[in-house]
């Protein structure tokens, strides 16, 4: 007892100091915000997703449609919290239906670095374009549009650093730059000693009266792929080494009746992309069907989509989307036959109808006329998205 009394006396000044100046984490009780996104549904696909190809395009992994029939979608576990008065952190784990877990995002971000400036470091989704930085449960349609699927493997995210600055002006003006490891499509292989990709973007936007708002952006991503694998040209793994440059233009316009989006609103968004690649393409890098064939490769490929979503009464929305990609120029030498487009331009048209009981639950029906492959097909997707726990507000 005597030892305990002496110890309490020695610690008393420090305890009093802690009570007067508690750390932010202590004030929060060491409890981060935690949320879980559950998704899944049913897919009726006339074309076999196991044979998915886009003629003329090298595709990244996991760009094909999901499985036919009933299936669990990707679940997301998100934890976020302020670290102290200078830093905040976020961690997102993606749990796939195949029972694998991947770290989708894990980054720290500054608070009050300088007026209008924010620095981020870790693994995160790039700020290029409009849709790229959004998680799938935020999308207005059940899948990514063709330009994102073909040119960015659905979304570009990587390990790196990001600096953003919002100008002190009445008009919203944001400048951003990123430096990435270059591990993921359209990069690959972590070229340049793990400094294989960089991007820059600018976003501008504002309000027009009380009912209208808009945002426009221009983005560029440059990477140096080293042995970037692709299995979507033929059945054997292929590889590309060289330079990849992506340019994106995006526009979003929103209208809300009396400025209240919970009642009635319309959202229109469109993006156009252009990807130019130069380097060496190697067919069948593993030599499964004979000796690998390497030759010079260059291509200019582009794509665009436009969509509109109308919430005509509270909780109920209807939407339409048209998306397409095409090859403008392509030279593949000895591998030219692998990139034969067969005179086909991939394109799709989709209709969406969904119901949100609250901001935490959504049920969706999507019907797509799919001409992304030479054989026309149809898709019917039924999707549910449920959010459990605290979840931060979404961007514009």
Q: Residue 117 in 3-state DSSP?
A: strand
Q: Up-side HSE of residue 215: CA atoms within 13 Å toward CB?
A: 15
Range 186-190 average pLDDT: 96
pTM for this model (two decimals): 0.91
pLDDT band, very low/low/confident/very high, at 28 (cuts 50, 70, 90): very low
Structure tokens at 275: 């990807």
Would residue 12 count as lying in a domain?
no
Mention every residue, 6+ apart, whose C-beta is less than 8 A from residue 392. 33, 80
Helix (H) or strand (E) holding 198: strand 197-208
Q: Up-side HSE of residue 343: CA atoms within 13 Å toward CB?
A: 0
Would residue 6 count as lying in a domain?
no
User: 231-263 in b/e burial notation, b at 16+ Cβ within 10 A?
Assistant: ebbeebbbbbbbebebbbbbbbbbbbeeeebee
Neighbours of 333 (CB within 10 A): 13
Q: Up-side HSE of residue 347: CA atoms within 13 Å toward CB?
A: 9
Neighbours of 357 (CB within 10 A): 10
Would residue 13 count as lying in a domain?
no
> Quick one: pLDDT at residue 5?
52
Cα distances from 239 to residues 58, 188, 283, 285, 330, in angstroms, run 9, 10, 7, 7, 16
User: 165-186 in b/e burial notation, b at 16+ Cβ within 10 A?
Assistant: beeeeeebbbbbebbbbbbbbb
255-270 pLDDT, tens digit each: 999 999 999 999 999 9
Task: Give CA–CA dist 57/260, Å, rounded.
Answer: 43
pLDDT band, very low/low/confident/very high, at 383 (cuts 50, 70, 90): very high
pLDDT band, very low/low/confident/very high, at 233 (cuts 50, 70, 90): low
Would residue 171 count as lying in a domain?
yes
> Quick one: pLDDT at residue 310?
98
Judged against a pLDDT cut of 90, whether residue 6 lies above it is answered with no
Would residue 24 count as lying in a domain?
no
Would residue 333 count as lying in a domain?
yes
| Torsion on CA atoms 146, 148, 154, 159, rounded to nearest 10 | 170
Structure tokens at 144: 């990514």
Alpha helices in 189-341 (DSSP H): 191-194
320-357 pLDDT, tens digit each: 999 999 999 999 999 999 898 889 999 999 999 999 99
> Quick one: pLDDT at residue 43?
97
Q: Kindly report the backbone phi and psi dihedral angles of residue 233, in degrees, each rounded to the nearest multiple of 5, phi listed first.
A: -80, -45
Residue closest to 78 by CA, chosen among 36, 110, 137, 107: 36
CATH at residue 368: 2.40.160.10
Task: Give CA–CA dist 207/396, Å, rounded.
Answer: 12
Number of domains present in the structure of the chain:
1
Q: Residue 67 in 3-state DSSP?
A: coil
pLDDT band, very low/low/confident/very high, at 392 (cuts 50, 70, 90): confident
Would residue 16 count as lying in a domain?
no
> Quick one: pLDDT at residue 396?
84
> Quick one: pLDDT at residue 224?
97
141-176 pLDDT, tens digit each: 999 999 999 999 999 999 999 999 999 999 999 999
Domain of 266, in residue numbers: 32-389
Neighbours of 271 (CB within 10 A): 24
Cα distances from 270 to residues 35, 253, 308, in angstroms, run 30, 9, 9
Structure tokens at 315: 């909780």
Judged against a pLDDT cut of 70, whether residue 235 lies above it is answered with no
The C-alpha angle with vertex 62 and arms to 161 and 186, in degrees rounded to 5, equals 45
């Amino acid at each position: 007892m005597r030892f305990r009394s002496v110890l309490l006396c020695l610690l008393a000044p420090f305890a009093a100091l802690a009570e007067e100046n508690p750390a932010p984490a202590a004030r929060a009780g060491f409890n981060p915000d935690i949320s879980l996104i559950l998704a899944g549904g049913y897919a009726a696909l006339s074309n076999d997703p196991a044979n998915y190809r886009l003629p003329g395009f090298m595709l990244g992994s996991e760009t094909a449609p999901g499985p036919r029939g009933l299936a669990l979608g990707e679940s997301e576990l998100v934890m976020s919290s302020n670290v102290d008065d200078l830093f905040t952190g976020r961690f997102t784990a993606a749990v796939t239906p195949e029972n694998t877990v991947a770290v989708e995002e894990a980054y720290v971000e500054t608070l009050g670095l300088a007026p209008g400036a924010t620095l981020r470091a870790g693994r995160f989704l790039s700020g290029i374009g409009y849709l790229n930085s959004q998680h799938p449960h935020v999308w207005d349609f059940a899948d990514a549009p063709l330009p994102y699927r073909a040119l960015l493997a659905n979304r570009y995210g990587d390990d790196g650093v990001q600096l953003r600055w919002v100008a002190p002006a009445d008009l919203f003006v944001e400048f951003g730059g990123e430096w990435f490891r270059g591990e993921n499509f359209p990069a690959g292989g972590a070229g340049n000693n793990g400094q294989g990709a960089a991007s820059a973007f600018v976003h501008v936007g504002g309000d027009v009266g009380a009912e209208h708002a808009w945002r426009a952006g221009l983005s560029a991503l440059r990477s140096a792929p080293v042995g970037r694998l692709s299995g979507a040209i033929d059945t054997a793994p292929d590889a590309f080494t060289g330079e990849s440059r992506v340019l994106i233009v995006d526009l979003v316009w929103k209208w809300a009746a009396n400025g209240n989006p919970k009642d009635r609103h319309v959202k229109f968004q469109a993006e156009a992309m252009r990807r130019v690649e130069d380097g060496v393409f190697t067919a069948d890098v593993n030599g499964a069907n004979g000796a690998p064939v390497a030759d010079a490769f260059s291509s200019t490929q582009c794509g665009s989509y436009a969509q509109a979503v109308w919430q005509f009464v509270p909780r109920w929305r209807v939407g339409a989307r048209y998306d397409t990609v095409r090859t403008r120029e392509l030279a593949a030498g000895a591998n030219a036959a692998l990139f034969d487009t067969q005179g086909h331009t991939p394109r799709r048209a989709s209709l969406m109808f969904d119901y949100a009981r609250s901001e935490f639950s959504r049920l969706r029906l999507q019907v797509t006329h799919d001409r992304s492959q030479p054989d026309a097909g149809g898709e019917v997707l039924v999707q549910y998205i449920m959010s459990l726990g605290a979840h931060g507000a979404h961007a514009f």
